[in-house]
Amino acid sequence: MKTVLSLELSLINYSVKGLGYGANLLMVRLGCKGEGEVFHSDELVARLRRIALQLRRDVLKMTTKAGSGHPGGSLSAADIITALYFHHLRHDPKNPKWEDRDRFILSKGHSCPVLYAALARCGYFPVEELWRLRKIGSMLQGHPDMLKTPGVEASTGNLGQGLSIGIGMALAARLDGKDYRVYVMLGDGELDEGQVWEAAMAASHFRLNNITAIVDYNGLQLDGFTEDIMSLEPLAEKWRAFGWHTIEIDGHNMRQILDALDMAVMVKGKPTAIIAHTVKGKGVSFMENRVEFHGKALTEEQLRKALEELRWEG
């Protein structure tokens, strides 16, 4: 009963967002996959939301400690990263090179603080490492370095390359007859890069259904709003025209995130793009939607205020 209700609520939710996701969900409900697999318990959602809060706190603490870094885009990605590392991905922090692991690539590499927080909280390395972010000799570089940091799958930071790297991994999986999946998170500003569209074209040409692109659509890039700098709309139509099954969700709604990730697994013959509508700086009132926190750490005073806001309220 409760499940059904939450399901209905989800549907309403999707409809309210008007993102055309409801129909898809209905189709699933009509039998393609069992409910249990697609819809997630309140307990799970609560647990993940709590973890996401922790990651947000980590992000702000580590960047302030480092005196630099990119908190804004880390916070917009926090819920998705949480859903991936603490529920969806098949991985083993004790065995980062496990051959059958799912791969996650943070193509928008500047948001690595939230990736580092997730990896540390998962157990890839001690949490204390987070406080050495960006310091000389640290395993945590300003942008992801696959040689230095356990769990980092690709060296990124020059935007536009992650989806292509993911294609290579997805081709390798197919060649080796392995069923691992590849997830690539991109920024919306990053979508300005033509290489992303080269990759989008190739992934559908190669019929890679083991790769999922997640767009952190927070509406801001470095110099301002994407709408002003380089407008992307109609974004979903772009991905569809490039041959991708495309889902739009609220990227801070844990249930929608989990559902979309599950949905992507079921799509046959083509790759899936999840366009996650997010808020840059999400969770801290004075950071939300503010371009100045793209690449600037909080002051100690700001950090104190932010951490006050980032408290679990159930």
Ligand X SMILES: Cc1ncc(C[n+]2csc(CCOP(=O)(O)OP(=O)(O)O)c2C)c(N)n1
Other Cβ atoms closer than 10 A to 80 = 26
- Of 7-15, 34-42, 131-139, 235-243, the window that binds other proteins (rule: CB under 8 A) is 131-139
Looking at residues 168 to 187 of the shown chain, list those that interact with other proteins (rule: CB under 8 A).
168-173, 175-176
Pairwise CA distance, residues 151 & 162, whole Å: 15
The length of the chain, given as a count of residues: 314
Mask for 136-175, x = binds Mg ion (CB under 5 A) = ----------------------------------------
Distance of CA 101 to the CA centre of its chain: 17
Pairing outcome for strands 245-250 and 272-277 = parallel
Q: Does 156 sit near ligand X (CB under 6 A)? A: no
Choose from its own copies, ligand X, other proteins, none: what does 241 bind? Cβ within 5-8 Å by kind: its own copies
Nearest approach, Cβ of residue 216 and Mg ion (Å): 6
Helix (H) or strand (E) holding 122: helix 112-122
* Contact with ligand X (CB under 6 A) among 121, 181, 294, 296: 294
Q: Does 202 sit near its own copies (CB under 8 A)? A: yes
Choose from ligand X, Mg ion, its own copies, none: what does 282 bind? Cβ within 5-8 Å by kind: none
Pairwise CA distance, residues 156 & 141, whole Å: 11
Mask for 222-261, x = binds ligand X (CB under 6 A) = x---------------------------------------
Choose from other proteins, its own copies, Mg ion, none: what does 218 bind? Cβ within 5-8 Å by kind: Mg ion
- Of 109-117, 150-158, 192-200, 304-312, the window that binds its own copies (rule: CB under 8 A) is 192-200
Q: Does 31 sit near other proteins (CB under 8 A)? A: no
Q: Which residues contact 181 (CB under 8 A, 6 or more apart)?
A: 90, 102, 103, 173, 210, 211, 212, 265
Q: Does 283 sit near ligand X (CB under 6 A)? A: no
Looking at residues 8 to 47 of the shown chain, list those that interact with ligand X (rule: CB under 6 A).
none
Contact 297, 270 (CB under 8 A): no
- Of 12-20, 42-50, 98-106, 186-194, the window that binds ligand X (rule: CB under 6 A) is 186-194
Complete edge-to-edge strand list for the sheet that includes strand 211-217? 103-106, 182-187, 211-217, 272-277, 245-250
Q: Does 280 sit near ligand X (CB under 6 A)? A: yes
Give φ, ψ of 249 to 5 degrees. Answer: -140, 170
Contact 96, 151 (CB under 8 A): yes
* Contact with ligand X (CB under 6 A) among 141, 210, 218, 302: 218
CA dihedral 155, 160, 219, 226 (to 10 degrees): 140
Under the rule (CB under 6 A), what is the footprint of ligand X?
72-73, 76, 108, 110-111, 157-160, 187-190, 216, 218, 220-222, 280, 294
